[in-house]
Structure 1
Amino acid sequence: MPLDVMGLFFFAYRDFVGDADALLERQGFGRAHHRVLYFVNLKPGMPVADLLDILKITKQSLARVLRQLIDNGYIEQKTGESDRRQRLLYATEKGRRFFEVLSATQTSRIDAAIAALPPEGKRTVLKFFVSMVDTGDRSTLDRLKLTDDI
């Protein structure tokens, strides 16, 4: 059993989310809010149905988180033009700025770790993470353009 990898993964994840967690807590938010902000900033106009599929959470859980983000001015919801039943999500200017602040320390941490690797290191890391994703979800990675550098 790869207990060493599991342990390192735990510590890396703990430190990776730690700074963002503190910023989120000051706003009364948690990691679910961060995930929503991440994907809405990554793909402006993302339908709620796609976000539910990506996050694998219930409509009720997402509704609570979305309501807080919308009520606090971080996300806006628009009706789809071709399908009026569709709810499309967009980060507001406030939501984009907050996401940039949340991502700054995480980006710095990733950049420093990748800079310490040999030239093909980044590609190896990306392949590792893709291989950890369930095969049924890999097409979602492609749709979100998360595998473009591989």
Structure 2
Amino acid sequence: MVISRKNYRCRLCGLFLRRSCPTSKALANHKGWGISHQRRSDRKTMAAYEINVNKADINYAGPDGEALPLDVMGLFFFAYRDFTGDADAMLGHQGFGRAHHRVLYFVCLRPGMPVADLLDILKITKQSLARVLRQLIDHGYVEQKTGRSDRRQRLLFATDKGREFFATLSATQASRINAAIASLPADSRKTVARFLAGMVDPADRATLERLNLTIGL
């Protein structure tokens, strides 16, 4: 395709455009971004048009003026990607996803957990949880029992098959965590745990305590 003045390829969105790129327009209007499509005729090997970003114009400060912790945010993204990726393939073979893994985790962590508590922890709709639970129950990983004191309660327990599958899912994740902590100074485990607990919404701190996730912090 011939690239002319009225027909060029945008390096932001990758599309061939006739006039101006809506993506670059939106970014150009965003405070702190200095972006423009500019004709380059000084080098034959360059594309007819390219995006020039003035990095000095990029504003990495938050609304309150504080510098954004982009390094920690990026590291958190990559760590979470690889942490969850370890189990994704095994879940996929069973036709499951991360929602099934989360349910298994909490049911194994606290056998007999009421469905209502699980809903409050996962922050998902009843319909979504019902679908995930039905699949786990039908495949024999979780069983549901009626509460003794309150017959309206539905209590969740992992079966032997469910506990075994959870142990398999957790093996590589545990190894990744232990290897990362082993490379840190002594007693860093508590520091890491405090950091993660500090990331949790204050309204859920009591839930962490009930689940015994903050013992000794």
The reply to whether TM is greater than 0.5 is: yes
Q: How far apart are the structure 2 equivalents of 1:89 and 1:127?
A: 29
- Structure 1 residues 1-150: aligned runs within 5 Å: 1-150=68-217
Correspondence for 2:41: none
Q: How far apart are the structure 2 equivalents of 1:25 and 1:43?
A: 25
Where does structure 1 differ by over 6 angstroms across 4 or more consecutive aligned residues?
Answer: none
Considering only aligned residues, what root-mean-square deviation do their CA atoms show, in Å? 0.6
Q: What letter corresponds to residue 123 of structure 2 in structure 1?
A: K
Q: How far apart are the structure 1 equivalents of 2:141 and 2:187?
A: 37
Q: TM-score, normalised by structure 1?
A: 0.99
Q: What letter corresponds to residue 68 of structure 1 in structure 2?
A: Q
Partner SS for 1:78: strand
Structure 2 unaligned residues grouped into runs of 5+: 1-67
Shift of 1:120: 2.5
Residues 75-111 of structure 1: CA distance to partner in whole angstroms, max 9, x if unpaired? 0000000000000000000000000000000000011
Q: How far apart are the structure 2 equivalents of 1:45 and 1:123?
A: 28
Query: How many residues are paired up?
Result: 150
Q: TM-score, normalised by structure 2?
A: 0.68
Partner SS for 1:29: coil
Q: What letter corresponds to residue 112 of structure 1 in structure 2?
A: A
Shift of 1:19: 1.5
Relative to its length, the structure with more helix (as a share) is 1
Q: How far apart are the structure 2 equivalents of 1:108 and 1:124?
A: 18
Instruction: Name the structure, 1 or 2, with higher relative contact order (CA <8 Å, separation 6+).
Output: 1
Structure 1 unaligned residues grouped into runs of 5+: none
Shift of 1:119: 1.0
Structure 1 vs Structure 2: percent identity of aligned residues? 76
